Amino acid sequence: MSSFDLQKSGITVKRILRNAAPPVLVEEALSREAGSVLTGTGALVAYSGKKTGRSPNDKRIVDEPGSAADIWWGAVNIKMTRESFLTNRQTAIDYLNTRDTLYCVDAYAGWDPMYRIKVRVICARAYHALFMHNMLIRPTDAELATFGEPEYTIINAGQFPANKNVPGVTSDASVALDFELRQMVILGTEYAGEMKKGVFTIMNYLMPKQGVMSMHCSATDAQDGSGASILFGLSGTGKTTLSADPKRLLIGDDEHCWSDHGVFNIEGGCYAKAVNLTEEAEPDIFRAIKFGSVLENVIMPEGTRTPDYTNISITENTRASYPIEAIPNAKIPCVGGQPKNVIMLTCDAFGVLPPVSKLTPAQAMYHFISGYTAKVAGTEMGVTEPKETFSPCFGGPFMVWHPAKYAELLAEKMSAQSADCWLVNTGWSGGKYGTGKRMKLSITRAIVDAIHSGELARQPTVEHPVFGLAMPTSCPGVPSDILNPRSTWAEGAAYDDMARRLARLFADNFKRFEDGCSEAVRTAGPRL
């Protein structure tokens, strides 16, 4: 790409590598970026500097007439003026123009051609370009030749700090998005995940306008194409592990859309957690980390070419980025049919929720908006007992509309396809954390297998007295005595007390969403 092609963006740098091949980007990173090295399998090890995770408090959306009425303003979507955005953009462009080389990635988001968007990334780090080469959907040579103007542009000047004197900027980092200008500007953070989640935020705004449900979830398809499944879940609930199912095809591990045609992946790659990664536990991910992939903030001991995945001296949030084709059972193109099952995963450390329960449409919306899981003692400083965590739509930081908008779309899609919705607890049984035991992975896999086979839907159920959930009384491959959580506790009264406590936490959390929800959804939660 010549500099002339980007002059309308104010870019004047002469050497701009457009859609450079992975070998070129690897060479650029090794020669230009301090600390970059190759592992023995050829993966690029790169470091993101001071920021080793997303900066949600620094995310801003421009308050402009075309989108303002659609956006759920508040702690997640914080307003910025157009003037401040333009100041940030000029700062970013001025910094990029001091570089002797820039990288441009032109690619797609969304595997369904009807809904895909053209994205352009302009950045100064080869590692960022390789990362987005992996995470976006790579165009063919013919598509690239006719790519034309992008629909959205990400200007990444993350090496240069934001100016806290700019109104709306409160730290040295700023991630700002303007839906009218269709641009995103990054300053003060080199964490590559900001670009990935920026694209997801864009899709979370655009897709609902077209009646398409955008989702923070993994998705699989039956080997014979007889039915897709969606798995929602926050970190630590088993979303990635359970979607790595050798009996099914992987559509994707993180970001998807549900249209009238079926499910499609937004991304062209995976961004897997690397902490404590082993070949034995996660062989597909372990083997995918080869030439062309990126290991972010992973330590490789001096004198070796072997990453130390147990070393979290930089951050516990170590990551691996690789094209989805690196996973053997990936379904290419990454599209599936209409989902037959929607699975919501929760790690309930209070030991209250059943291993599996079937949800009514209203309950599905309630639990989707709640997005519940729990942290356990030792996971964070100051956490000495189970701590509830609620993230709307299982992806609160990336939602643009009110959560009820996504919940209504989910209910519509489920109703149109007569899809079943299941709440699966991968957490504790027989007592809370410290007393009971974590659900065995083999049991959860058996539950998911029974969901996919249709066997679980044929089992009789009983109603949970507090949460109103339909609990199957039997499930192939699962001991029947654990299906009702109260029966696994040593003292029923202690269970009842804990159930009421968790019910109150649900109710208190849901108060902030009640105004945007129907009466049916408001009353679908636990009974106090």
- Tell me which residues are annotated as active site: 54, 197, 216, 235, 239-240, 254, 319
Q: Taking the CB of residue 127, how many other CB atoms lie within 10 A of it?
A: 26
Query: Which residue type occupies 440?
Result: K
Angle 422-424-429 from CA coordinates, rounded to 5°: 145
Task: Check: CB of residue 295 under 8 Å from CB of residue 317.
Answer: no
Would you call the peptide bond into 460 cis, given omega within 30 degrees of 0 as the criterion?
Answer: no
Q: How far apart are CA 42 and CA 330, in angstroms?
A: 21
Quickly tell me which residue has 């700023």 as its tokens: 174
270 Cβ contact partners less than 8 Å away, ≥ 6 residues apart: 252, 253, 254, 285, 288, 320, 321, 322, 324, 326, 327
Q: Which two tokens stand for residue 328?
A: 């053997």
The Cα 103–Cα 124 span in angstroms is 6
Torsion of CA 399, 401, 402, 407, to 10 degrees: -80
Q: CB within 8 A of 130, min separation 6: which ones?
A: 22, 25, 26, 29, 44, 292, 294, 321
Contact residues for 453 (Cβ-Cβ < 8 A; gap 6+): 476
Contact 485, 354 (CB under 8 A): yes
Among 109, 417, 42, which residue's Cα sits nearest to residue 264? Answer: 109
- Per DSSP, which regions of 158-276 are E strands? 174-178, 183-187, 213-222, 228-232, 248-252, 255-259, 262-265, 269-273
Mutual angle of helices 193-209 and 126-135, in 10-degree steps: 40
DSSP code at position 468: -
498 torsion bin: left (phi>0), alpha (psi -120 to 50), beta (else):
alpha
Enter the DSSP assignment of 444.
Answer: H
Q: How far, in Å, CA of 174 to CA of 55, rounded?
A: 8
Task: Give the DSSP letter string of 62-74.
Answer: E--TTTGGGS-BT
